[in-house]
Amino acid sequence: MEQNLNQLIKKKSLEKGLVLGVILLVAGIFSYYFITGMTDNMWLITFGPVLFSVLIPLIVAIFFSLALRKEIGGFWVFKQAVTGIFIMFFVANLLSFIGRDLIFAKVVEPNMVENMQTAMVNSVSAMLEKSGQEQEAIDKKVEEINQQFEKQKNPTIGSTIQSQLIAIIFLFVLALIFAAIFKREPLRNGLDNAVDPE
């Protein structure tokens, strides 16, 4: 019975991960066009990446975690929750990485990093000028932004693998946190003691 549930969790996690990955991919592509062409609001350009790469994915991930738990019967122990949520996050991250970083950024928008860099530099410069910052401080900030983007322009295979390994570790930690929040252990015979996960 428990083995069947574990298999169901893995299957449903894979399905949810594919859908979540498509959502993250679309959000990432929309974020690029929004920041580089659809708005000239410096606050939206500066904080848009946080909205599209952190807040929206976090809200969607919470919704998908709850939906996953519901689809497998409404109950799972901590270990099952970690497994299911991590599989979902891993598949979503992999699909988003392949779609955005390997296909979209190389084929559809090969100047993606340069365009993002230009939009960010223009936005930050305008924002600092409006706030009355001296030109020296503005130039220093622009230089920092340019250095950050230079690292992204020609990533090596090693740096790409390293960044993906870091992402996987982060996703596992996030899965542990989500599992601690969203676990719901089944009750045995209507009593308050939970079923032994082993």
Within-domain flag for 95: yes
Range of the domain at 167: 2-110+155-182
pLDDT for the residue numbered 130: 81
The C-alpha atoms of residue 74 and residue 80 are separated, in whole angstroms, by: 12
Number of domains forming the structure of the chain: 1
Domain for residue 43, yes or no? Answer: yes
How far is Cα 133 from Cα 100, in angstroms, rounded to an integer? 36
Task: Provide the sign of the torsion angle of the four alpha carbons 90, 32, 51, 22, taken in this order.
Answer: negative
Is position 130 within any domain? no
pLDDT in tens, 10-29: 999 999 999 999 999 998 88
Using CA atoms, how far apart are residues 115 and 41, in angstroms rounded to an integer?
A: 16
pLDDT digits 0-9 by tens, 65-121: 999 999 998 899 999 999 999 999 999 999 999 999 889 988 898 888 888 888 888
Q: Which residue has the tokens 């130039």?
A: 139
Helices (H), 51-110: 56-71, 78-96
Residue 148: inside a domain? no
Residue 141 within a domain: no
Domain presence at residue 196 = no
Residue 78 resides in a domain: yes
Q: Is residue 131 part of a domain?
A: no
Give the position of tokens 């679309």: 26
Name every residue whose Cβ is closer than 8 Å to that of residue 60 and which is 6 or more positions away in sequence. 20, 23, 24
* pLDDT tens sequence across 28-73: 888 888 888 766 666 676 677 778 888 888 999 999 999 999 999 8
- Please give the distance of CA 36 from its chain centroid, rounded to a whole number: 20
pTM: 0.79
Task: Please choose, from the candidates 193, 172, 113, the residue with its C-alpha nearest in 3D space to the C-alpha of residue 147.
Answer: 113
In 3D space, the residue among 2, 179, 26 whose CA is nearest the CA of residue 89 turns out to be 179
Which residues neighbour 123 within 8 Å (Cβ) at sequence distance 6 or greater?
Answer: 42, 45, 46
Q: In 10 A of CB 112, how many CB atoms?
A: 19
